[in-house]
Amino acid sequence: MELEISLAPQILTRFMGFPVTNTLLMSGAVSCFLIALAFFFARTKKFVPGRFQAALEFVFEGLLALADGVTGNRKRTMRFAPIAFTIFFFVLFANLIEIIPGVESLGIEMEGHRVPILRSPSTDLNTTLALALIAVVSAQLWGIAALGPLKHIGKYFSLRGPIDFFVGMLEAVSEVAKVVSFSFRLFGNIFAGSVLLIVVSALLPAIVPIPFLGLEIFVGFVQALVFSVLALVFMTMATESH
């Protein structure tokens, strides 16, 4: 029986009436892995770094330098980094996990269909929508904290004149559009790549999928970087008065 390809995540079981999907299972696995990695680094860090610590420090220094170019200064970067970097690493591992052998290829028979037990979280619109909401809502909260509630809301609802009112409405609509854009960009790219890998692997399973695996690694990294950098841009813009 062929593996089912579905836009919606497949429900594997239910826990207290709550549906447990294959993407939710992988989201939990990715989250646990990142948390364990963070605890391991915190407990094993030394003044003279080993290879693992040196590699992580190199990655974070590169990310901080990139973030400085977006925010304009290190103080603002350190304020936004916990959210932006968490999004980056979660999206990165959620994207790259689909290239691990067995993910999205091992399945079980359910209701006449063979569904994958494991599936990349980024191929679930619920996951990408949640990440988009976190990024956009965080930007709004930072804007309120930096400017104050009235001044921040005044950027979207202004009665100083018809032009200011119209521009404010456009800004408010653009905030909603950011959520939609964030969600579908990540979901579309990763889901399309996932389907491509499944089809190519089924037709020519030996050597042909290798170039596509390399392409998926590149796309997964770029999408994670774009998502986190845009989150930084939105948080930076939200803290500006105009």
Spans of all domains in the chain: 21-238
What span, in angstroms and rounded, lies between the C-alpha atoms of 169 and 173?
Answer: 6
HEC secondary structure over 32-73: HHHHHHHHHHHHHCCCCCCHHHHHHHHHHHHHHHHHHHHHCC
Average pLDDT for runs of 10 along the chain of length 242: 65 80 87 90 80 84 89 86 91 84 67 73 88 90 85 75 76 84 85 74 64 79 90 86 64
Q: How many helices (H) and strands (E) does the chain have?
A: 7, 4
pTM: 0.84
Label the pairing between strands 113-116 and 107-110.
antiparallel
**pLDDT at residue 213 in the model:** 74
Q: Counting beta carbons within 10 angstroms of the beta carbon of residue 220, is it exposed (0 to 12), middle (13 to 18) or buried (19 or more)?
A: buried
Q: How many Cβ atoms sit within 10 Å of the Cβ of residue 174? A: 11
pLDDT at 201: 67
The pLDDT, as a whole number, for residue 1 is 47
DSSP 18: E
